[in-house]
Amino acid sequence: MSSETHNISVYSEIGKLKSVLLHCPGEEVENIVPDYLRRLLFDEIIYLEQARREHNQFADILRNEGVEVIYLTDLMAEILINPDIRREFLKELMVEGKAVTEGLQEAILEYLDDFSPKELISKCIAGIKQEDLKHIKPKELGDMVKNAYPFYLDPIPNLYFQRDPFAAIGRGISLNVMANETRNRETLFAKYIFNYHPGFKNIPRWYNRDKTHPIEGGDILVLSEKVLAIGISDRTSPVAVERLAYNLLSSREPIDTVLAFDIPKTRAYMHLDTVFTMVDYDQFTIFPGIEDPLDVYSITRGEKNQLKIKYEHKDLSHVLKEYLKLPAVNLIRCGDGDPIAASREQWSDGSNTLAVSPGKVVCYNRNIVTNNALRKNHIEVLEFDSYELSRGRGGPRCMSMPLYRESI
């Protein structure tokens, strides 16, 4: 197993990106069928070959910018060399995937027994079909009853959105609780990486996956070394925001303010970063549809180890100026002010930019109007193809988890 140390250090959204975690889509997206789209949280079927071409373009852009690209499957394969960890992981994966009967578990373990660590992790992500298991020795009623559903273990097709299962904040992480049961197995991979990989030792956790209230990484934006923004969204609970804030503000981290953005609870705006991202020291992309209903709350340290929570009555620009200590803030609107273009391009993640350094961002090439608006505001835009990846309703920021950014 590689013992190379991968320090976590993320104190901004725009500091030069040095290291990032990705997952290139695999067989799991080919196991999405129309009858189970909603169950797996997809709106459309994805063509894998093209999706992989696009994802490789994305990774190449990052490498060309000097970013170390680390793949989730490589880290997991290094961990699963250890037979004890392998068995522990598989037992937990089966339980969380509701494959709980004794006969089924024995059949799955037997089927996977000869897989290499790399093959094993790919198969766990792809899902285990009924046709994969030749025979289940029935030991319980659940082993005997016929079931028309084609999988014993569901595929995990949302895993190419690496932003959500955990979030790097400062020198620690939030190991998240996903809002939908379908996605909760995704956080198992991060749990095992941060428990067992020698490259990630003693990383503090500001939140953990054993908690009761959901929070997802797409709602977490590190605006500066002092300010964290978290969306209260369709996928993130205000209870989780407050608990994460308490743990973080009670630590030795320099972050002293958490701004909670209460955004509309709809699938189109499922996370804060689908409607708002940071592209430069004083510039942000925003979907104009959230501006009027947006409420912002500031959370700071109070007296006697309590939190101080305040409703911010000013508009978003003034709140950002105040807490980021900026003379002015420029909000670059998705669609460049055209409501039709804004709605269309927000659907394909026009506001979901990934900054590789201040004023330089990676974007889908399909969002022409918004990308040109960024360029008009002196933002350098690096584009890649987006025919298939965008069908999953997530953009470049959604697909990446920065592990290390230079301080700014």
Catalytic residue, chosen from 24, 124, 334, 398, is 398
Residue at 255: amino acid letter: I
Q: Scan for tokens 């196991």, then name that residue.
A: 31
Output phi, psi for 132, to 5 deg.
-70, -30
Give 321: exposed, middle or buried? Use CB within 10 Å, 0-12, 13-18, 19+. Answer: middle
How many angstroms separate the CA atoms of 116 and 153, rounded? 19
Residue 311, CB-side half-sphere exposure with 13 Å CA sphere: 4
Catalytic status, residue 398: yes
* CA distances for 373 relative to 210, 243, 283, 342, 387, angstroms: 42, 37, 12, 11, 21
DSSP state of 10: B
DSSP state of 273: G
Q: Scan for tokens 């394969």, then name that residue.
A: 77
Residue 30, CB-side half-sphere exposure with 13 Å CA sphere: 14
Complete DSSP assignment for 49-98 = HHHHHHHHHHHHHHHHTTPEEEEHHHHHHHHTTSHHHHHHHHHHHHHHTT
* CA distances for 322 relative to 114, 261, 319, 364, angstroms: 58, 15, 5, 31
Q: Which of 224, 359, 344 is nearest to 283 (CA)?
A: 359
Query: Are 318 and 294 a contacting pair, CB within 8 Å?
Result: no
Query: Are 266 and 236 a contacting pair, CB within 8 Å?
Result: no
Q: Scan for tokens 């997952």, then name that residue.
A: 23
Return the axis-axis angle of helices 72-79 and 186-196, rounded to nearest 10°. Answer: 60
Instruction: Just list the catalytic residues.
Output: 398
